Amino acid sequence: MIDNKETVKPGFANGISLQLHNLQQQHGTADIKIISVDKHEIIENAAEKFGEFLDALGCDWRNDPNSKDTPKRVAKAYVNDLWKGRYESFPEITSFPSDGYDGIVIERNIPITSMCSHHHQTIRGVVHIGYVVGEEGRVIGLSKLNRIVEHFSRRGAIQEQLTAAIHNSVDKICEHNRGVIVTIAATHNCVSCRGIKHQGASMITTKASGVFRENDNLSRKEFFDSIKINNGGHQV
């Protein structure tokens, strides 16, 4: 079940989130939840349409032993892996009392695999997340940060939106925090495999709030010193 930690915005969190938004608009209430999605039906419909797409490209996939099951394989890959964040509820996130800890928490090098909304090419890299615990604040279960990243990345996205979505989710869940920062360093196949075809180019995006927006803040310096991004888009 989707809880109120996911901000529903048509366009980015489409799929299950767009269904939820439409139902809420239709019934005039924000209390509606989506319990499940019929993935099997989505896969069957998508496989049929992908077969038509291959037909339009002139691909004789039905008579090719290596391609005759490709439409179904591609549909399953999208629903179960590449875009699974669209068809699954926001993960249940646990948090704990900080017990007097009021410093910075950093998790580095969270692997990320996403897909460019523009060309449906792979985005790969790492996410670094930091937050400063406030007085009477709470800390998020460490693996839950990974689950938040996985939920938002497994769908069509652009890196800027993805960075903001992860940041905003952590900001909401980590109550009474004094600042949240998220940096993504990634390579894009839409740059390396098409168009300009430049290998090795990487993109870095950062969204910060609270103390992390202060250039001379020690927490901001500690965060960037910790992640040390190099030209390849990964932490040194």
| Tens digit of each residue's pLDDT (9 = 90 or more) over 202-223 | 999 999 999 999 877 889 899 9
**Residue 120 to residues 123, 193, 214, Cα–Cα distance (Å):** 9, 12, 36
Domain 39-87 falls in which CATH fold? Answer: GTP Cyclohydrolase I; Chain A, domain 1 (1.10.286)
Using one digit for the tens of pLDDT, what is the confidence trace for 116-127?
A: 999 999 999 999
Using one digit for the tens of pLDDT, what is the confidence trace for 56-112?
A: 999 999 999 999 999 999 999 999 999 998 888 788 888 999 888 999 999 999 999
Where do the domains of the chain lie?
Answer: 39-87, 95-227
Name the band, by pLDDT with cuts 50, 70 and 90, for residue 12. very low
C-beta of residue 163 within 8 angstroms of C-beta of residue 184: yes
First to last CA, the chain: 38
Does the pLDDT value for residue 141 go beyond 50? yes
Q: Which of 84, 106, 67 is nearest to 16 (CA)?
A: 84
Name the band, by pLDDT with cuts 50, 70 and 90, for residue 15. low
pLDDT, position 38: 76
Whole-number percent of the chain with pLDDT over 90: 61
Q: What is the pTM of this model?
A: 0.82
CATH for 95-227 (3.30.1130.10, 3.30.420.40, 1.20.1640.10, 3.40.710.10): 3.30.1130.10
Does the pLDDT value for residue 4 go beyond 60? no
Does the pLDDT value for residue 8 go beyond 50? no
Using one digit for the tens of pLDDT, what is the confidence trace for 18-67?
A: 565 566 667 666 555 554 567 888 899 999 999 999 999 999 999 999 99
Does the pLDDT value for residue 10 go beyond 50? no
Does the pLDDT value for residue 230 go beyond 50? no
49 DSSP assignment: H
Residue type, 84: K
C-beta of residue 210 within 8 angstroms of C-beta of residue 178: yes
Using one digit for the tens of pLDDT, what is the confidence trace for 148-197?
A: 999 999 998 999 999 999 999 999 999 899 999 999 999 999 999 999 99
Across 2-6, 18-22, 73-77, 226-230, the highest mean pLDDT is recorded for 73-77
Average pLDDT, the chain: 85
pLDDT, position 87: 81
C-beta of residue 174 within 8 angstroms of C-beta of residue 138: yes
